[in-house]
Structure 1
């Protein structure tokens, strides 16, 4: 059979909703590039099933967050790992694509590599080896042949750490500018009415528990110096009740919103943000919202962070994604005991006024488009599909 007529089978392993979104778009691009010549198997969510994948089981079985939740479901998760490995090997695909959720997907990949070393394995979304446990990069190279990175600095990090061959394929946020950037009149000028502060205490219960009280105390002090202050607090649905109960005691009551549509509307309206560390910092930067980023580490991760200081590629100058991408510390960050009104209020006052500190962040964020866009104009899914097709044609 000639190369133009050959058919292919690709197995996917996805562990949560965000991976389902990436996987469905990758499948769509592959199907357009290879019409009628590609089929799919493995594990995915509803979006991937719409693209032709019949999932082995519902990914909600393994999409759990937090140590307690994982331990409670550990026997089922272990069972699902082995079930997935057996199914992939039985299908004998031309390639296996694992997407994010490394605690599950990488355990599957390791076992597939051991039992069926002829199957090429492609990883989509790199674990944060540049921040935590850099030794994972070299270990990954044993069972991941190609890695699709969504942050522009990650190919260089993996090259230096001995990781798999890594390709930057773009970040999904850069393709959602209309969701994040304000239209005419959505974000009033600072001198036109109320000043809107976004408060983002995180999506996990542990983050909310560690930060929300401090955020409330900071707002109480800030309200004394910033007139007409409005607080917007986007909450993930599972945290809404907990956040509402805590915020009910605040002197200035926040407007709490849920759902992606309301969250994006809040981003387009906000003048500044006080946020937990995480991907949200990149969302804010792309939206053009200057921010202060906070994180409190539990004892385990604080110890892990201290240990990682011996690794040159783990000792990044910042834990804030926009700072790492820009290559300089533009966004101020506050760790542990620094998360307090005495430290945060002066910074937020600057960000909610027409100051050099505010202008510096907004100006720096305008550089992200150039840094993060793919040079050839392809979409993220098209760039990812090109790497997958290259692997298929070499197999």
Structure 2
């Protein structure tokens, strides 16, 4: 797709109000802003809530994103009064901004209450949801309810448009997962160079351990992962590498100090993470987006997860055959998953050991993982460009498009 041939022109400014509620949404928002600058030829004026990535594109946030960047009901409850103040502040600011469209980005606990209130007070403002809630996994009735306050969904996963159509949700376009933009970096990562730098024993297979990027995830998983590592190392000498994000690094260092195999801890924000994935013979990972990265890196893996008791009691609401994103994208449960009480050191080590050798289990995973890039790749553009083009198309399709909300030509 040629950027020039598809660039949209505008005589006057395009006003977009963007709302990201946590750091992964901020990363998407930053790339979306950069793509909008590429694809829209007129003046672009932005307002809303974002973080560092959006700020790098010249975006000024109403308040620090850290004020609302929390995950899960148990984390939200203690901060609910502050979050609700920020919700009302954001709604008032959006209406005062008089946008041509509002784009909410992920974090439905924060962004959807904002969208509902904007729709109630200004029903003519189009609202676009960048990242679909997991309506295909649980509480599917949310899809139909979203139609009241969301005009268009930008989906990261290829099966989500069909899911929204089946569930009566809003119009939905697959714009691609941002990880596909990192495919070259993943495939080109130099595992051998990392091995030399860390001084790894070449005769020992590398087990990559990924206990999560949030404090709550690491706290729940790191001890059972350590016990699994001990069981594996008792039968097969291994090296262990752990990519850690900055805010949980100290926790991981402390929790792994007495592991049977002393891990090599590298910076998850650097190229070392992908080099470690390419180097690893197998991985033990927390469920999450990292499973898609492992699939793109063609790394055989075992996946585990534990949540708080309140969420665990709601498991009967799940409507999917797997909670592992890589499995859902590939349409096959390629990565074995161990959740809650099934997440034991015995089970994890038993699943890891076959992946370290030349076994049918390992070969079966590699055969399925080879299809991952094709499942996520778009035919003719990057995800951020596709998202920007869809935002511009939604704005152009509105009654009165070509005029700003202040009455002049756009």
CA contact (8 A) 2:189 2:274 kept: no
Q: In the TM superposition, what is the alpha-carbon distance from 1:7 to its structure 2 partner? A: 3.4
CA contact (8 A) 1:8 1:392 kept: no
1:22 to 9, 28, 33: 28
1:233 to 233, 242, 248: 242
Distance 1:73 1:184, change over 3 A: closer
Deviation digits for residues 31-72 of structure 1, max 9, x if unmatched? 222223332122222332343433212212212346565334
Q: Alignment partner of 1:130: what SS?
A: coil
CA–CA distance in 2 between the matches of 1:209 and 1:183?
Answer: 29
Match of 1:206 in 2: 216
CA–CA distance in 1 between the matches of 2:259 and 2:57?
Answer: 46
Match of 2:117 in 1: 111
Q: In the TM superposition, what is the alpha-carbon distance from 1:338 to its structure 2 partner? A: 2.4
Q: Alignment partner of 2:165: what SS?
A: helix
State how 1:182-201 maps to structure 2 within 5 Å: 182-183=188-189, 186=192, 193-201=203-211
Is 1:290 the equivalent of 2:300? yes
Distance 1:337 1:44, change over 3 A: closer
Is 1:243 the equivalent of 2:252? yes
CA contact (8 A) 1:23 1:48 kept: yes
Q: In the TM superposition, what is the alpha-carbon distance from 1:184 to its structure 2 partner? A: 5.8
Match of 1:58 in 2: 64
Is 1:47 the equivalent of 2:57? no
Q: Alignment partner of 2:314: what SS?
A: helix
Over the aligned positions, Cα root-mean-square deviation in angstroms equals: 2.1
Match of 1:280 in 2: 290
Q: In the TM superposition, what is the alpha-carbon distance from 1:25 to its structure 2 partner? A: 1.6
Match of 1:369 in 2: 373
TM-score (norm 1): 0.91
CA–CA distance in 2 between the matches of 1:16 and 1:335?
Answer: 25
CA contact (8 A) 2:190 2:278 kept: no
Q: Alignment partner of 1:51: what SS?
A: coil
Match of 2:180 in 1: 174
TM-score (norm 2): 0.88
State how 1:61-100 maps to structure 2 within 5 Å: 61-65=67-71, 67=73, 69-100=75-106
CA contact (8 A) 2:274 2:297 kept: no
Deviation digits for residues 14-42 of structure 1, max 9, x if unmatched? 11222222112212222222223332122
Distance 1:269 1:129, change over 3 A: same
Q: In the TM superposition, what is the alpha-carbon distance from 1:275 to its structure 2 partner? A: 1.1
**Residue correspondences, number:** 383
Q: What 5-or-longer segments of structure 2 have no aligned partner?
A: 1-8, 196-200, 399-410
Match of 1:341 in 2: 345
CA contact (8 A) 1:181 1:288 kept: no
CA–CA distance in 2 between the matches of 1:22 and 1:389?
Answer: 16
Distance 1:185 1:298, change over 3 A: closer
CA–CA distance in 2 between the matches of 1:346 and 1:259?
Answer: 27
Distance 1:259 1:96, change over 3 A: same
Q: What 5-or-longer segments of structure 1 have no aligned partner?
A: 309-313
Match of 1:383 in 2: 386
Q: Alignment partner of 1:73: what SS?
A: helix
CA contact (8 A) 1:21 1:47 kept: yes
Distance 1:72 1:303, change over 3 A: closer
Q: In the TM superposition, what is the alpha-carbon distance from 1:94 to its structure 2 partner? A: 0.8
